[in-house]
Chain A
Amino acid sequence: MEWLALEFMQRALLAALITGVTAPAIGTYLVQRRLSLLGDGLGHLAVAGVGLAFLTNTAPLPVAILVCVIGSVGIELLRESGRASGDVGLAILFYGGLSGGLLLAGLAGQGSGTLSNYLFGSLLTVTTADLWAIAGLGAIVAVVCLGLLPQLFAVSADEPFARTIGLRVRFLNILVVTLAAITVTVSMRTVGLLLVSALMVVPVATANHLITGFRAGLLASMALGAVAALSGAVGSYYLDTAPGSLIVVIAIALFAVSWPLSRLAERRHGRLVDVGSGEPVAPGPEVAEAHPHVHGENCGHRPVLHAGHLDYVHDGHRHAAHGDHYDEH
């Protein structure tokens, strides 16, 4: 545990924790809106910002944030107007960002080695000033993602309805992409710009496997992101690799484990136990929807004989009386 005493390692772990928590939080809204790959595109765009900062000899973080936020708002306005058709415009913007960033970095005399600190993360490059900026921006992202959860959920689930309850839909949509841009840029030292999108999507998918409910899923994905980011950062110190790759590999490993776990939980949840003997019985049929009338001779539903009892044909499926309700047969 001697790494905990290293100051740069403490900074790196804090930065990783902030990324691990914020990336899935904003990612939940992107996934909900079927914009899973937006984070990837914004990462490419941020590379141009880093290149520009090299060339102008300024701090990479503010320049990258500026470029990325401007780009993300532009993309959202294009999407809203329906002009970003076929994704081609977005692809050009994103690859323009990546190639432009590499070009600018080259012109600035910085090799691809320096740039790779930002593309795949680098624990050593997190300065104290950076950490304060990361912490401040991360706090904003987390507070908005949690504090405006009902509003952001309503907008991403059903935009027309959100308008008719008076929500400022355009503002909230731009807020989501702006926060995504900030999250991507803030994450460039820990996960790196090329892999941050994975941390915005994979823990969300994992949480979807394990948890029911939007809010619960969002919180679970934040916890999963924190686990992946912290363990990846520590592991990369021992393995002497770029932290981004290990963080994402761990996140995907968690996703892979969640698959059979969710199956198992589903099966256990669905298993019925005979009250008398305590013996498990075969999974029974689903209980039918609530009923306004009692099936009988005059209800208008066709009765059929089924394994010794009467079922009633109800909208193409069969109802069988069971206690105070009907089972689906």
Chain B
Amino acid sequence: MLLTQPGSLPASPTDPGYRPPALRTVGVDVVLGGIPIVRNADLEIQPGEAVAIMGNNGSGKTTLMRATLGLVPHQGLIELFGTPLESFREWRRVGYVPQRSGILVQQATAREVVASGRLASRRPFSPATTADRKAITAALERVGLADRARHPFVRLSGGQQQRVLIARALATGAELMMWDEPLAGVDHHTQALLSEVAAQLKADGVTIVIVLHELGCFEPVIDRAISLAEGRIVADGPLPAERSEGHEVADLKPTTLHRTGLEAP
């Protein structure tokens, strides 16, 4: 186990002060349309870690993230904060940013899209509270879009739309961020802004899991990279402390370092 890991707290559930992994999977398989997409995935992400899930197109990295959120059927064990996915109900602890292409809004404003992020902690048939409104405004400010709050989402640029989706996840106030390819098709300015947001979240102790094609501007934020190829985890380890520009995923040494915590009953 890596001693430098932010989550390297007492490993046994019986220890006082034990915090379960934010995310843990054991032997997870995903088969879609008869085709195995994710095979036997074991991973454990401690609270406060910033982890990139990397791989080429079709390697299964997005499907793995979607499986851990219950969005695609899976076999094997998935736990969020120590609770099996099937009985997990504390969804306000999770802030998901899906790929942008899935959004269907006609005339909704950026603010209305961000407001959805508050629904995990909002009762049906009850109006938004002052705290809700403040969280929505703060989230829009953090991504630099306070002045675009009343603009229709569909009229924003690709980078701005991505920032709205990040703001929606921020508005949840979640302690586990799950971002799926946030850099796809966004400009350099937005990339820099998103890495600043991620760095701030990390400083606040939020666990970050990001599906990425390449590390790009997230490199300074990420502690550890999990690499997938053909649905299998082929590498899992910390980023080398000294790394060159244009660091390749393949440089990571194959390891199962993070399985040590699993032996506890």
Contacts and interface: CB of A to CB of B under 8 A. Distances in A.
Contacts of A160: 66, 69, 71, 96, 98, 102
Contacts of B118: 150
Interface in B136-191: 144-145, 147, 150-152, 157, 159-160, 168, 172, 178, 187-190
Contacts of B66: 160
Contact of B152 (A154, A212, A290): A212
A289 B91 contact: no
A213 B103 CA distance: 15
Contacts of A162: 116, 119
A328 to B, nearest CB: 10
Interface stretch (B40-48, B51-59, B107-115): B107-115
B142 to A, nearest CB: 12
A91 interface: no
Secondary structure dominating the interface of A: helix
B136 to A, nearest CB: 11
Given A147-B125, A212-B150, A166 B108 contact: no
A215 B192 CA distance: 33
Contacts, number: 114
B98 A214 contact: no
Interface in B87-124: 89, 91-92, 94, 96, 98, 102-109, 112-113, 115-120, 122, 124
Nearest to B103: A158
Given A164-B91, A208-B107, A289 B157 contact: yes
Secondary structure dominating the interface of B: mixed
A213 B150 contact: yes
Interface string B65-101: 0100111000000000000000001011010101000
B109 A214 contact: yes
A147 B124 contact: yes
Interface of A: 31-34, 147-148, 150-151, 153-154, 156-167, 207-208, 211-215, 217, 289-292, 314-315
22 contacts: A32-B106, A147-B125, A150-B115, A150-B118, A151-B119, A151-B124, A157-B108, A158-B98, A160-B66, A160-B69, A163-B69, A164-B94, A165-B96, A167-B119, A208-B106, A213-B112, A289-B187, A290-B144, A290-B145, A292-B192, A314-B187, A315-B187
Interface of B: 66, 69-71, 89, 91-92, 94, 96, 98, 102-109, 112-113, 115-120, 122, 124-125, 128, 144-145, 147, 150-152, 157, 159-160, 168, 172, 178, 187-190, 192-193
